[in-house]
Amino acid sequence: MHWILAPEPPVPQVCVPIIDDLLASPEFLAAEHPMTWLRQKLIVNDDQIQQIAALTVGQKDNCLWSAVRRNRLTASDFECILAAVKRNRYPISLYKRLCQAYDLSKKDAIIWGLCNESVAVDKYRSFGDAVVEPTGIWLHHNGVLGCSPDGMIRRPAAFGFHHQSPALMDIMQACNIQPEILEVKCPYSAKEKTIAEAVDTIAEFCLEIQEFRGERIYKLKESHPYYDQVQGQLFVTNKHACDFVVWTPKDFAIVRIPQDLVWQRNISVLADFYFHKFMPHLQQ
């Protein structure tokens, strides 16, 4: 009968700040320098980051994931923010997107991706008994940037992958740099094509061909929004490499992408946008 009398296990206390709660707090409203106060309150440590990633597994089906994500900048939006900063133009459509004012859940491309993501992950697992675990939202230490990878890789695909930066292949192997995050794309525009056909016929397709030592291999276009998403994920999670998967019913490709150290400067650009542009918009 001990199990009947034993106390219920404590509900995990989430120590990661919820943006809406901070903005409504008396301390924020009374602060002499509210943005400085907010910056300090949003900073998170490694334990908090790991806790929230674990508690938000399930992502869109987890209400805590939605609460933590709300009014933070996430990696899927990094490209449109960086483009706006570069142009120094911030249309209302950008803020609506960042505030999740658009319902994209019924769009064909979104439905297609959601329906086939698990198929693509299972396919990835077949490349040398790869091990992938589900994850939730990861936060940068600044507390304002986040990302939700499609999986955390515990054992990567052992074969069948292409190197984004083949010139770094030997260095990655010598330093034992392995992919730790998985990002999956199931492009609706290529649902009836092989990846090679999509590269040849779809101008906005995310992959392109590069030549290296007489071989033709795939790489993720650095001009494509997915590149900013992947690099954002790597620097938010502080991981060294990502396996980027493209799946169609007819084909499958893995591109192994390392951190781009030049891209890292965008972390401060995104944080500055958050406090100087996005946060004033929220307060209107």
CATH number at residue 98: 3.90.320.10
Q: Residue 73 is part of which domain span? A: 19-283
Contact 139, 44 (CB under 8 A): yes
13 falls within a domain:
no
H helix or E strand, kind and range, residue 253: strand 251-258
83 falls within a domain:
yes
226 falls within a domain:
yes
Cα dihedral 191, 192, 195, 201 sign? negative
12 falls within a domain:
no
38 falls within a domain:
yes
pLDDT tens track, the chain, 284 positions:
444 445 544 445 567 889 999 999 999 999 999 999 999 999 999 999 999 999 999 999 999 999 999 999 999 999 999 999 999 999 999 999 999 866 666 689 999 999 999 999 999 999 999 999 999 999 999 999 999 999 999 999 999 999 999 988 888 989 999 999 999 999 999 999 999 999 999 999 999 999 988 889 999 999 999 999 999 999 999 999 999 999 999 999 999 999 999 999 999 999 999 999 999 999 88
Residue where the block lists tokens 């994500």: 69
The DSSP code for 90 is: -
- From first CA to last CA, the distance across the chain in angstroms is 58
9 falls within a domain:
no
By CB atoms closer than 10 A (0-12, 13-18, 19+), residue 56 is: buried
104 falls within a domain:
yes
Domain count for the chain: 1
162 falls within a domain:
yes
Report the C-alpha gap between 156 and 203 in whole angstroms.
Answer: 30
